Structure 1
Amino acid sequence: VGNIVEVWCPTPGQEAARDLARARADARVDLMRARHLLSKMLLRKGLVYPGRSAWTKAHREWLRSVELPEPAERLVMSEYLQQVVACEQRRDRLDAAIAELAATDGWRPVVSRLSAVRGVSTVTAFSVAAEIGDFSRFPSAPSFMSYLGLVPSEDSS
């Protein structure tokens, strides 16, 4: 008794939503990496943005004004910058797809409740909802916390 653990199998629609949320997370990682590659390439050349915040309109204008002496350097910088733009466009397309799906009847109730929490965007709320699936499968808050791995435990010798 009690040895069998119930499992939850997502529907094809829920699995597709999980894929969409994961693709958005991958796009975010790829964008961060592309930005990092460009920043580090410029840093190796001794070029540091003099402003406060990177990846703003002013930062992009500064990037366009950077002139590198070697043709190979100019090509590399151009490629890195194109990669940043491509990653941003990919992220934006996925954000739009998430916003569209989150507004449908199947997702709107849970996404709107989760996004009511301060600091939780539609993308974050949708990602949580897609990964968790049906919240009603957890009989209590402690069982949900256990599912997430947020249970206190002692780790001592």
Structure 2
Amino acid sequence: MPKLLLGHGVVYSGGKAWAGADLGWLEGQHFDLAATQTAFDEGLDHVISTIRRRDRLDEWISQITADSSWTLIIRRLGWLRGISDLTGLGLAVEIGDWNRFTGNSLGACVGLVPSECSSGASRAQGPIIKTGRTCRRLLVEAAWHHQHRYVAGKAMRGRWDLASPEVWARGDAGNRRGTSSRPVTSVPVWPTSLSFGNWRAGAGPTVLTRTCSLNKTTLHIRCISPASCERLR
């Protein structure tokens, strides 16, 4: 479809392609040659059929994740970035009983540990073993979401509503690991107390104190000025 249109100088400029709004624009395209029009109609029909099939599968997956034996594990996985209903269902079905594994042994199941060729006292490690192809592909796709700055959006906060404070706090900590992020400010379990002391210009940094109501852990963040502390609230 894109190559056929581009070959005839037809380019969509109404926004992001294949986002839904361009389907009406596609249906309005006509070509002089009957063969070109037939090829275009067949391609458009295939696109529409694929979109409808995708929507049906999405609806079915949503029903499965809402009420099935995998619902609990899918919701727990969904508190991590890059994992929604589709990825969560795939991981839940592929791994099955998660109680069989620990944090170390799960990596071997999905093929994320190095291969090894040892004999006697010599030990040689090579590339990852690449077992569990489906799980590894899902995890790699989810991992791409962690390259960006972490900001808890509307979808993520909606998933947190289904969890206890202790569980979503652990998921939030996992999302922040190894990334640049800003604190979640709209969740009420992180009361913040600010203490500027006798701060004055040129007197050096002050401290922003955060106390977690779950485990009473206190974090001390050094700030250059009261204004910078306010931005961290």
Q: TM-score range by the shorter chain?
A: 0.5 to 0.7
Deviates more, 1:96-105 or 1:72-81: 96-105
Counterpart of 2:109 in structure 1: which amino acid? Answer: Y
Q: Residue by residue, what CA displacement relative to the aligned partner does 1:128-157 show, whole Å, maximum 9, x if unpaired?
A: 11111111111x21210011111146449x
Q: CA RMSD in A?
A: 2.0
TM-score (norm 1): 0.66
- Residue 119 (structure 1) shift: 2.9
Higher helix proportion, which one? 1
**2:64 is aligned with 1:89:** no
**2:45 is aligned with 1:45:** no
- Residue 42 (structure 1) shift: 1.4
User: In the alignment, which residue of structure 1 is the partner of 2:107?
Assistant: 145
Counterpart of 2:38 in structure 1: which amino acid? Answer: L
Gaps of 5+ in 2: 116-124, 128-233
**2:93 is aligned with 1:130:** yes
Gaps of 5+ in 1: 1-37
User: In the alignment, which residue of structure 2 is the partner of 1:108?
Assistant: 71
TM-score (norm 2): 0.46
- Residue 46 (structure 1) shift: 2.7
**2:41 is aligned with 1:78:** yes
Work out the CA distance in 2 between the residues paired with 1:117 and 1:107: 16
Structure number with bigger Rg = 2
Contact 2:114/2:126, CA 8 A, preserved across alignment: no
- Residue 57 (structure 1) shift: 3.9
4+ residue runs of structure 1 moved beyond 3 angstroms? Answer: 152-156
- Residue 105 (structure 1) shift: 4.2
Higher strand proportion, which one? 2
Q: Which fold has the larger relative contact order, with Cα–Cα distance below 8 Å and residues 6 or more apart in sequence?
A: 1
- Residue 113 (structure 1) shift: 0.3
User: In the alignment, which residue of structure 2 is the partner of 1:29?
Assistant: none
